[in-house]
Amino acid sequence: MRIGLEVHVALPLKSKLFCSCSSSAEEPNTAICPICMGFPGSKPMLNERALGIAKSIAAALNCRLNDFISFVRKVYFYPDLPKSYQITQIGGAVGTGGYVQTASGRVGIVRVQIEEDPARIIRGDDYTLLDFNRSGIGLVEIVTEPDMTDEGGMKEFIIELKSILYYLGVDIDQEFKVDLNVSTSGDRVETKNVTGMANIVNALRYEIKRQGVMASKGQRIGMETRSYDEAGMKTVQSREKETEEEYGFIYEPDLGEYDMRKVETETAVYASRIAHEYAKRYDYSESTLRELIMFNREALALIDGAKGGHRMQNIVNAVELLIKYRKTGINGRDFESMLGLVENGAAVRKETIEKIERGEGISGYSAVSEDEVNKEIADIIRSNARLLEDYKRDRKVLNFVIGRVAKKHNADPRYVSEQLRKVLRDVFKVE
Ligand SMILES: [Zn+2]
């Protein structure tokens, strides 16, 4: 079996791809203009921020980066496309010939390209509505080779791809739309516009079963375009069939060529690779680390930044506490303080973290354990037999103990002072 995907995700842009309309309007048909409505005579103007993001994605997917890119008009008639063509790319795509590495193998990337989304169609029982807010939203399309061979491999690829996109600032909670190509017999069957992991998996399972039944009856499967029926959890023959194979592509003269050589890229973060390395280095569970960092920028930064000498389990526990209490934006130093508490088995509550964040020191929450502080205080007192006698006359003689211990552990002197009183009472029976 061979599985290939065409993935569409929205580029993180505030305005649309070829006009200045907002890309996030909610009230239908409020973010529209002659360009994204496709009025005759209107000309597209490229939102050039799209170039940097798309190039970063192509680079992250190990693609060859084209020096010059251009656009084409994919001509077809459909109600969501009043100008009768979608602006997309083929030959002049941003990147070609890349790959994504997963635990089950390598999935080839045919190309990474920029294109515009058509309008949204809302179908009722006996009517159809169109929302042009979506028309002209910038998308990146990622086309894979049919290199995935089973459901597990496909899921791994999708998670890996989503993680890479997440770290490049692409909002993967937005629509993640996939055209799913499944071939069990040599004939490629494409299921269009499947959204979300659960639906993609269900569509795949259905196609495997459907094609299997046909093959067992000796029927030819045949090349076909289908769509996904979410309610029925099945793929169905597409009503759009007649248009699909009949696109005309012509060069888009309104946009011309773009020189990509001066477009800067962001560096990719491969969280799965980092999880794998840390799991080996710290002899720790890779799946736990993946769970924590594949889609959590902050968790990755904290784990990365935690100074040496900590056990991975403690680092993970501290990060999980932050996630549990929905704490974001904690700095490295505060995280070290938290880590100290976790390492000493101190109970870290939401209030503790808030105290640390407010910079109220960690009085009473010293990174060193209470037992250790008390032992040090007792040791200093024992090392000088006269101290206790002097103390009975002049209470100030023990102030140097507070200073010494507080300084050594960077602890709040008020906390050490409290511990000193406890030690005197409990160990030396002096009130
Ligand atoms: Zn517009």
Phi, psi of 212 (to 5 degrees): -65, -45
Ligand 1 centroid–CA 35 distance in Å is: 5
* pLDDT, position 346: 66
Going from the C-alpha of 124 to that of each of 130, 155, 193, 207, 290, the distances in angstroms are 11, 33, 19, 27, 42
Q: What spacing in Å lies between the alpha carbon of 16 and ligand 1's midpoint?
A: 7
Q: Of 259, 281, 296, which residue constitutes the final position of a domain? A: 259
Distance 82 CA to ligand 1 centre (A): 13
Position of tokens 């790319």? 89
Residue range 18-29: mean pLDDT, rounded: 96
Residue 169 C-alpha to ligand 1 middle, in angstroms? 23
At 11 the pLDDT is: 96
Same domain for 352 and 404, yes or no, is no
Whether 419 and 426 have beta carbons less than 8 Å apart is answered as: no
Distance 239 CA to ligand 1 centre (A): 29
Flag whether 362 is in a domain. Answer: no
Domain limits for position 339: 271-357
359: left (phi over 0), alpha (psi -120 to 50) or beta: left
Type of residue found at 87? I
Q: Which domain-ending residue is among 259, 290, 312?
A: 259
Mean model confidence pLDDT for the chain: 89
Do residues 385 and 291 both lie within one domain? no
Token readout for 340 is: 């100290």
Pairing of strands 258-259, 224-229: unpaired
pLDDT tens, residue by residue, 114-150: 999 999 999 899 999 999 999 999 999 999 999 999 9
Domain end position, chosen among 259, 284, 309: 259
* Ligand 1 center from residue 179 Cα (angstroms): 26
Q: What share of the chain is helix, strand, coil (3-state, %, to 5)?
A: 40, 20, 40
Same domain, 69 and 163: yes
Q: How far is the CA of 25 from the centre of ligand 1 (A)?
A: 11
Distance in angstroms (rounded) separating the CA atoms of residues 48 and 263: 9
Q: Which two tokens stand for residue 205?
A: 């399972």
DSSP 148: B
> 364 lies in a domain?
no
Q: How far apart are CA 189 and CA 192, in angstroms?
A: 10
pTM (two decimals): 0.80
Question: Average of pLDDT values for 378-383?
Answer: 90
Whole-number Å distance, alpha carbon 129 to ligand 1 midpoint, is 19
Beta strand 248-251 pairing with 234-237: unpaired
Q: Is residue 148 part of a domain?
A: yes
Strand, coil or helix: what is 278? helix
Q: Using one digit for the tens of pLDDT, what is the confidence trace for 284-311?
A: 999 999 999 999 998 898 888 886 778 8
